[in-house]
């Protein structure tokens, strides 16, 4: 069982895979060669499941940051005798006009230590446990390091230190004086493939420099947002880029599995897949934060991944990052879970759920990136109109909604709203997609959806739009009514809904819950924390309504829960204020970007009035 707070971790990414590094210099989560691969280090979920630690011997204080414009992490350990700087990165390869960021990733974790003041005694502990801790690899010595073999993974550890080795792994100590440096590398290779290499200090330092410059080159070319909280927005853009899978254009919801919505609870899910909703929202946020040029990659992924599932049936709500359809869920009974939160799950059973909102999210993103899309692409001209046809044909059926309720399907307001968005955006794209003959059908369907939402989504007794037709339950997703443009933010019904959410779903910290959990509400036991995305939605809707001061306050409360590296999890425990849920969470960074942008535009409007 692991007890380390989620906010203690920093993210590394090469746009293929990810690592989480704790404040004490321990890599407690690493998946090679993909985000969804079995973890090599999984101490995040169980102390016995593998780690790689580099830290001073004895007491120390920590200061850390990302190097400017990068996702390269620098941790400074301040000890009574000196200061040690640890720089960690997943090697992205060079980013050039030919090769996009991560295109030449080598599946190599680089760790560089440098004594900057005084002298520091260093301790290194290397205990890989492939396949989520199931495999205890065999170790063999080679000049310049050692190899670990076991299961489907071959690991090469480059180390300059003399070390002790046993069946658990490798450990070493060294004393460094000011100016002295050491470089380490962990290189992954597949069983039966090209073996991973051992790298000398010069090669590792060159690769580290290339990675720093590659991230900075991407950041220089993607500085789209200027306005309030500019540094936070641009950093969130880098985080979203770090959550994207370069080979296909997929975007993961988070890099972890089974970090719980409630400590010790059972609401523990695997988020290392590409939800249509989350990925589309990520592209929209990148449009604000970073002016991305990856829209073509994203839509190529979506139309190819969905090519056999959307025609004549429903679009899946998520896919594997390589386009896989079957994401069957299973439990890892050998892992104790973060703070005893079990079961630990891999895969996600929600892939089978019908969720009607996905059509709207994809078409909304397509409309935003219309100029970047190849309108002459026959597959795209078939795919996008097909999404609108699917929304027109299915909007009046029940589904499981945006929050993936694991109970009975219902007529969720948000699902109907996004079917309206699908039809509205398809109409805007019709000429570009040469779909003029569909305009009449889409217009009629759009008006039917709109009428149903206005008649059945509004609850006069509650004084708000509610979670589902005929329900009295509040749901933060109703805040999307003004955000999508379905109704003006100044509409009296919208304003009353904003007030109802602020009063009925907000905790003592000023953070917004998705909805109120309870017996029979969502088919799950236990509770959950307040949801950062929903809090940012409230700030965004308040800004659209002209309530700019309230929007700023709401934004600041949510953004104030980022960790010292600017990373946000999915939720916040309303009692302790600690982060909860998978981490870092794309949804939360999406919400931050969009809320900041809405506030900036509202302030510009107020100044020009």
Percent of the chain surpassing pLDDT 90:
80
Alpha-carbon gap, residue 158 to 125, rounded angstroms: 13
| CB 75, CB 111: distance < 8 Å | no
Instruction: Give the three-class secondary structure for 346.
Output: strand
- The pair of three-digit structure tokens given for residue 357, joined into one six-digit string: 């909102």
Cβ neighbours for 567, distance < 8 A, ≥ 6 positions apart: 7, 9, 10, 11, 239, 583, 584
Alpha-carbon gap, residue 504 to 467, rounded angstroms: 13
Four-residue CA torsion sign, 72, 61, 260, 410 = negative
Answer whether residue 69 shows pLDDT above 60: yes
| CB 460, CB 473: distance < 8 Å | no
Alpha-carbon gap, residue 42 to 32, rounded angstroms: 12
Higher pLDDT, 49 or 301: 49
Higher pLDDT, 302 or 519: 302
Quick one: which of 277, 276, 251 has its CA closest to 35? 251
Strand partners of residue 467 = none
State residue 310's pLDDT score.
Answer: 44
Alpha-carbon gap, residue 107 to 32, rounded angstroms: 7
Instruction: Render pLDDT for 393-444 as a digit per residue (tens, 0 to 9).
Output: 999 999 999 998 877 899 999 999 999 999 999 999 999 999 999 999 999 9
Strand partners of residue 175 = 121
Percent of the chain surpassing pLDDT 70:
96
Mean pLDDT of 180-202: 93
Instruction: Render pLDDT for 151-173 as a digit per residue (tens, 0 to 9).
Output: 899 999 999 999 898 888 999 99
Cβ atoms within 10 Å of 592's Cβ, excluding its own:
29
pLDDT band at 97 (very low <50, low <70, confident <90, very high): low
State residue 300's pLDDT score.
Answer: 82
Alpha carbon of 562 to those of 6, 183, 537, 552: distances in Å? 11, 30, 16, 16
Instruction: Give the three-class secondary structure for 567.
Output: coil
Residue given tokens 């499981």 in the structure block: 400
Instruction: Give the three-class secondary structure for 230.
Output: helix
State residue 380's pLDDT score.
Answer: 85
- The pair of three-digit structure tokens given for residue 18, joined into one six-digit string: 């990810």
pTM of full prediction above 0.75: yes
Could you please state the CATH topology (level 3) that the domain comprising 222-326+347-608 is classified under: Glycosyltransferase (1.50.10)
Alpha-carbon gap, residue 497 to 162, rounded angstroms: 65
The CATH architecture of the domain made up of 6-218 is Distorted Sandwich (2.70)
Residue given tokens 């959410």 in the structure block: 501
| CB 413, CB 459: distance < 8 Å | no
Instruction: Render pLDDT for 81-94 as a digit per residue (tens, 0 to 9).
Output: 999 999 999 999 98
Instruction: Give the three-class secondary structure for 263.
Output: coil
Alpha-carbon gap, residue 251 to 243, rounded angstroms: 6
DSSP code of 124?
Answer: E
Quick one: which of 168, 208, 256, 198 has its CA closest to 86? 208
Q: How big is the chain by its Cα radius of gyration, in Å? A: 24
Instruction: Render pLDDT for 305-327 as a digit per residue (tens, 0 to 9).
Output: 876 544 444 689 999 999 999 99
Higher pLDDT, 297 or 501: 501
Alpha carbon of 226 to those of 181, 234, 288, 547: distances in Å? 38, 9, 9, 21
State residue 145's pLDDT score.
Answer: 95
Quick one: which of 175, 388, 291, 288 has its CA closest to 601? 288
**E-only strand ranges, 455-533:** 458-459, 464-465, 530-531
- The pair of three-digit structure tokens given for residue 445, joined into one six-digit string: 């369907």
HEC letters along 18-68: EEEECCCCEEEEEECCCCCCCEEECCCCCCCCCEEEEEECCCCEEEEEECC
DSSP code of 351?
Answer: G
| CB 316, CB 309: distance < 8 Å | yes
State residue 313's pLDDT score.
Answer: 47
In whole numbers, what is the pLDDT of the chain averaged over residues?
93
- The pair of three-digit structure tokens given for residue 604, joined into one six-digit string: 């510009």
| CB 497, CB 440: distance < 8 Å | no
Instruction: Render pLDDT for 246-278 as a digit per residue (tens, 0 to 9).
Output: 999 999 999 999 999 888 888 899 999 999 999
Quick one: which of 301, 439, 292 has its CA closest to 379? 301
Alpha-carbon gap, residue 330 to 321, rounded angstroms: 18
State residue 312's pLDDT score.
Answer: 43
Strand partners of residue 608 = none
Alpha carbon of 342 to those of 32, 39, 331, 583: distances in Å? 24, 17, 9, 17
State residue 311's pLDDT score.
Answer: 47
The ranges assigned to domains in the chain are 6-218, 222-326+347-608
Backbone angles phi, psi at 193, to 5 degrees: -100, -165
State residue 98's pLDDT score.
Answer: 53
Answer whether residue 521 shows pLDDT above 80: no
Strand partners of residue 286 = none
């Amino acid at each position: 069982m692991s007890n380390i707070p989620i906010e203690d971790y920093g993210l590394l990414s090469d746009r293929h895979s990810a690592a989480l590094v704790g404040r004490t210099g321990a890599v407690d989560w690493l998946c090679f060669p993909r985000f969804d691969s079995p973890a090599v280090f999984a101490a995040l979920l169980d102390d016995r499941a593998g780690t790689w630690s580099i830290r001073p011997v004895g007491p120390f204080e920590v200061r850390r940051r990302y190097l400017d414009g990068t996702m390269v992490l620098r941790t400074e350990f301040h000890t009574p005798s000196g200061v040690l700087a640890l720089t960690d990165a997943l090697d992205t390869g060079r980013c050039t006009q030919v090769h996009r960021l991560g295109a030449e990733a080598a599946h190599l974790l680089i760790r560089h230590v440098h004594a900057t003041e005084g002298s520091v005694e260093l301790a290194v502990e290397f205990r890989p446990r492939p396949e989520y801790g199931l495999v205890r690899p065999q170790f063999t010595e080679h000049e310049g390091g050692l190899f670990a073999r076991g299961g489907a993974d071959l690991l090469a550890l480059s180390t300059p230190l003399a070390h002790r080795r046993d069946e658990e792994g490798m450990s070493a100590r060294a004393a460094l004086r000011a100016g002295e440096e050491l470089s380490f590398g962990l290189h992954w290779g597949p069983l039966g493939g090209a073996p991973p290499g051992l790298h000398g200090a010069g090669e590792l330092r060159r690769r580290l420099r290339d990675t720093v410059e590659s991230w900075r080159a991407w950041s220089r070319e993607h500085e789209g947002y200027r306005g309030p909280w500019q540094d936070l927005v641009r950093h969130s853009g880098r985080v979203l880029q770090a959550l994207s899978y370069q080979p296909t254009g997929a975007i993961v919801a988070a890099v972890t599995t089974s970090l719980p919505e409630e400590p010790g609870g059972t609401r523990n899910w695997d988020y290392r897949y590409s939800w249509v909703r989350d990925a589309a929202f990520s592209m929209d946020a990148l449009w604000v934060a970073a002016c991305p040029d990856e829209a073509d990659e994203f839509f190529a992924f979506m139309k190819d991944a969905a090519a056999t599932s959307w025609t004549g049936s429903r679009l899946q709500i998520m896919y594997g990052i390589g386009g896989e359809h079957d994401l069957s869920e299973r439990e890892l009974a050998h892992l104790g879970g973060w703070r005893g939160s079990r079961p630990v799950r891999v895969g996600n059973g929600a892939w089978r759920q019908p969720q009607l909102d996905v059509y709207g999210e994809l078409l909304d993103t397509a409309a935003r990136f219309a100029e970047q899309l190849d309108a002459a692409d026959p597959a795209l001209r078939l795919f996008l109109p097909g999404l609108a046809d699917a929304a027109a044909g299915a909007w009046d059926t029940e589904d499981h909604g945006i929050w993936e309720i694991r109970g009975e399907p219902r007529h969720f307001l948000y699902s109907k709203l996004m079917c309206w968005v699908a039809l509205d955006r398809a109409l805007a794209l019709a000429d570009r997609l040469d779909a003029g003959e569909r305009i009449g059908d889409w217009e009629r369907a759009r008006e039917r959806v709109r009428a149903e939402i206005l008649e059945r989504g509004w609850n006069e007794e509650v004084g708000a739009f509610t979670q589902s037709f005929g329900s009295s339950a509040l749901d933060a997703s109703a805040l999307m009514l003004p955000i999508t443009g379905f109704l003006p933010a100044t509409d009296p019904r919208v304003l009353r809904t904003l007030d109802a959410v602020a009063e009925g779903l907000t905790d003592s910290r000023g953070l917004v819950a998705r909805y109120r959990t309870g017996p029979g509400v969502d088919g799950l036991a236990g509770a959950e924390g307040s949801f950062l995305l929903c809090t940012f939605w409230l700030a965004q809707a308040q800004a659209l309504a002209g309530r700019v001061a309230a929007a700023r306050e709401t934004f600041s409360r949510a953004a104030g829960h980022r960790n010292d590296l600017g990373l946000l999890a999915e939720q916040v425990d309303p009692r302790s204020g600690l982060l909860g849920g998978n981490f870092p969470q794309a949804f939360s960074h999406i919400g931050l970007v969009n809320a900041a942008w809405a506030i900036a535009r509202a302030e510009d409007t107020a100044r020009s009035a």
